[in-house]
Amino acid sequence: MRGLFFAWAAVAGCMALQARAADWTQWRGSNRDLIITGEQLAASWPEGGPKRLWLAELPGEGYSEPIVAGGALFVTGSTGDKKSRVGHLYALDPKSGANRWQVEYGPEWGSSYEFARTSPTFHEGRLYLVGGLGHVVCVDAKKGEIVWRVDSHAEFGGRNITWGIADNPLIYDGKVICQPGGPDAAVVALDVKTGRPVWKSKGLSERSAYCSPALLTLNGRRQVVTMLEDHVVGLDAQSGQPLWKHAHRNRHAVHPNTPVLCGKDRLFISSGYGHGAEILEIAGGTAKRVWSDKSSDNHFQGVAFYKGRIFSSGGGRLTCFDPADGRAVYHVEGAKKTSFCITPAGMITYDERGGTVMLVEVGSDSHRVIASFKIDYGNGPHWSSPVVSDGVLYLRRGTGIAAFAVGAQ
């Protein structure tokens, strides 16, 4: 399907579709860890917040965060009524918010919480995304044209879940990872060039559970680690062979975050609805619980390992944990149910409750709120994560997306 072009021809020739150091190429940032390095950012913000460079109204609605790569900003949105919801991928000019092109990538989730929920991943001039009905799509980032599309539920016998598929694609070694949740195909690797299957997780048939997989090295072995409806699992990155699993299920089988490495062969996992958080130690084919904490039932993607501490947004607050023993070192003042990223200037939080955005100096034992402001545009919940690229902060809420100047002067 061909994209609709909006003044694209004039800029296509000068757009270099290669990832740059300042880019944000996927969900949770280019390293998939919520930690940004190499940016020269202002140490504080003016009263009322940083200068807004532009505000754009997207044709479609979404909870997903944008990505910035190859001189463009890419973001998903969906349109239509609940019975005929359609997903779109938009390419915006990051300096003006102007829409360069858009492409319809397929049917989208149209039941409760029907906004588009996942971000694309940029890789070697192409964009990869997973729709709420399980369609995995590859799009040419320059032309806005679909290269291939796979209905992973039809292909692998997958089953949808209560609020629609919501995993953000992981890419490595020419593979794109998705989680259709089919028989012997809970997790699947597809070829990035063709969409054809590379491997399936034989022996695992659990459904997806909103978790986005991570590529981690445990016991000297690269693994795809994710949370399915009943277990946290580790799969050999090359073959998809299940290596270990650990029981972890809340009453809704909802784990909308990602496992985070927090020490040698140790993982932090957390999910909402009162189940709480755990640190696991992986040894060969076993996973041992080191400690658990019921209070940090993380319902967002806000988990990071930074300065030897775990930062987790769960239980209605943002907590700094000592990963060794689970001790809560401190709670970030004013941050409740929040998404965040960590930059050289400090942590930037974006709270679900009222849309408050804060710049916070965070250390291993203390913190200080530097500045704050509120989002006054868009529609729906404040569920998208803050994105920083090349001295600009991008914040999305529903159909509204804006850019703020946070670079050092």
The DSSP output letter for 125 is T
Per-residue pLDDT at 3 exceeds 80? no
- The SS3 assignment for 152 reads helix
Looking at domain 4-405, which of 3.90.1170.50, 3.30.2230.10, 3.40.630.10, 2.130.10.10 is its CATH number?
A: 2.130.10.10
| pLDDT number for residue 10 | 35
Task: For residue 2, name the pLDDT band (cuts at 50, 70, 90).
Answer: very low
Spatial CB neighbours of 324, under 8 Å, sequence gap ≥ 6: none
Per-residue pLDDT at 6 exceeds 50? no
Mean pLDDT, residues 173-181 taken together? 97
C-alpha span between 286 and 299 (Å, rounded):
26
| pLDDT number for residue 242 | 97
pLDDT above 90 covers a percentage of the chain that reads: 86
For residues 228 and 182, the answer to whether their CB atoms sit within 8 Å is no
pTM flag (> 0.75): yes
For residue 190, count CB atoms less than 10 angstroms from its CB and return exposed for 0-12, middle for 13-18, buried for 19 or more. Answer: buried
200-203 contacts, C-beta under 8 A, 24 or more apart: 200/156, 200/240, 201/233, 201/235, 201/240, 201/241, 201/242, 202/240, 202/241, 202/242, 203/242
- Which tokens sit at 118? 């996942």
- Which tokens sit at 97? 């918010």
Per-residue pLDDT at 187 exceeds 60? yes
pLDDT above 70 covers a percentage of the chain that reads: 95
C-alpha span between 215 and 205 (Å, rounded):
20
The DSSP output letter for 174 is T
H-type alpha helices, 267-401: none
Backbone angles phi, psi at 56, to 5 degrees: -125, 150
- In whole numbers, what is the pLDDT of the chain averaged over residues? 93
| pLDDT number for residue 250 | 86
* 233-270 residue pLDDT tens: 999 999 999 999 999 988 888 898 899 999 999 999 99
* 74-124 residue pLDDT tens: 999 999 998 899 999 999 999 999 999 999 999 999 999 999 999 999 999
For residues 243 and 285, the answer to whether their CB atoms sit within 8 Å is yes
- Which tokens sit at 119? 């971000």
- Which tokens sit at 120? 């694309």
For residues 213 and 187, the answer to whether their CB atoms sit within 8 Å is yes
For residues 280 and 266, the answer to whether their CB atoms sit within 8 Å is yes
- Which tokens sit at 55? 């505000």
C-alpha span between 386 and 378 (Å, rounded):
15
For residue 295, count CB atoms less than 10 angstroms from its CB and return exposed for 0-12, middle for 13-18, buried for 19 or more. Answer: middle
* 112-162 residue pLDDT tens: 999 999 999 999 999 999 999 999 999 999 999 999 999 999 999 999 999
| pLDDT number for residue 55 | 98
| pLDDT number for residue 17 | 58
